[in-house]
Structure 1
């Protein structure tokens, strides 16, 4: 065992993943009957799968991470078995910053880069094709995009135990934490969306859709600069990383085409920006429910609620509502067409 990573039989792990993939979106009764049939007397196998499903369900109920039929929760289970290394090459690891669908992020020190955010994924998990593609793609994205609204990537590398991405450490506050304090003032809320539009316009012009725009993927640094993070499920137009029908994203922010498992492009980001715009000005998400299926039903079949007449600081929100109506159109071909257009419309209001 190295760094506390249990060496698991790969065939057994693949078998567990295949069962998890089938059961992730099924009802409790279906899960029970299926496990009765597949696991038979193998109680350890059943406990492992049930633990993965319980973790998967908990993440979804908290609306904190990806919907992952095949990949993310097993990856996190592998990560959870890691004994935190004190160092990795020249990086001295200080503390954990957070966990996400594609690994754990640590605060680390490096003699050349000073403090960095070091994102690690166990190599055992990275050997899964989809995980490897997604982790490598994020490194490729960060290396190709250069913008003050993004976390700068210093390097990506692998060791015997990990795949790693070393990124700029952003000393700031998550937008989700800011929203918990209440609606943002009119100008601040719109300027955050404008900042995100600028970053996403750069990505979109390079054929890249982020696909997981949400408040806890946005940080505000100490200078007030908006920073978009986590490209773990982003997709280039010329890649085929996601199988048809696979659903990735965060429930309340996902576009109708993401829920349908159809082809997803940059217009899904426009939908998610609309969700965030509503959230910034009201401190609430427009589509919420007790479980992800009910959220999906609302997104697919219900109209979003209207904004209040005025913002928390008394500004007229009727012009913003007109823009929001164009962002939250369910058919992507009829949605507001680009971040450039969104910027132009919002820019007239601030």
Structure 2
């Protein structure tokens, strides 16, 4: 395994319902470790691309549980912070009949909102090939400043920086900047964007034609854009500035046929898949196919982290689908 990747952001408790339907009707939940960046970090570990992970949890039972989960996944605790003055964030999930999900967050002044700038020093960043961050920590200070500081210094150090907006509109109520303003700002500061139609819609960006949309987003800063389309697969566009073989190019993947149980974390699994593939030197087309496969396997079991596959499981799945 290699530690050329650094992931930064929230680790939360996901409460997964034991039945489908609206949140108001759910009576029982199962506790699961979650948070988009945490899912990406654990997904990378499962795919033998062991990253460093910078996160912050509360000092208490939920924080203890999460640090244990991260340790069990093989992640070092170098940048796993325990906040003695804040609680761990919570997210309650509801599942629709087609395994689609919605979230209700409980993270006012939670530990993940209290990341501090400068925690990852320049010497550490000099050894990092890829840095990945998400949009949730941009909704609150000081985590917003800490995340943007990391992004800027990582680019200065020569790292590839990827970003998942992970639009959660309720988290932006009362924020100093809107989600749309923040997305526009961050696009000019990152190399790789992974987004969904919901992310783009929340920012007021037209997404009716995915391939054309991906290409248009290249003009806003990143050299590579991935758009995931749920059961319809995904598309990717890369400009001439992208380092991948064959760039500039636009490619599409139709996805894989599965019976979904829970789509929670599927997008994070996709992100882990494309990062692992690209760090390994794959071309854009192969990375897209691998990311789709990782995501598809993840939807066949409940939970986000608990459903993340190994490389061997992904290879078996792809062979069965061919």
- TM-score, normalisation: structure 1: 0.28
* Structure with larger RCO (C-alpha < 8 A, sep 6+): 2
Q: Which is strand-richer, 1 or 2?
A: 2
Q: Which is helix-richer, 1 or 2?
A: 1
Bigger CA radius of gyration: 1
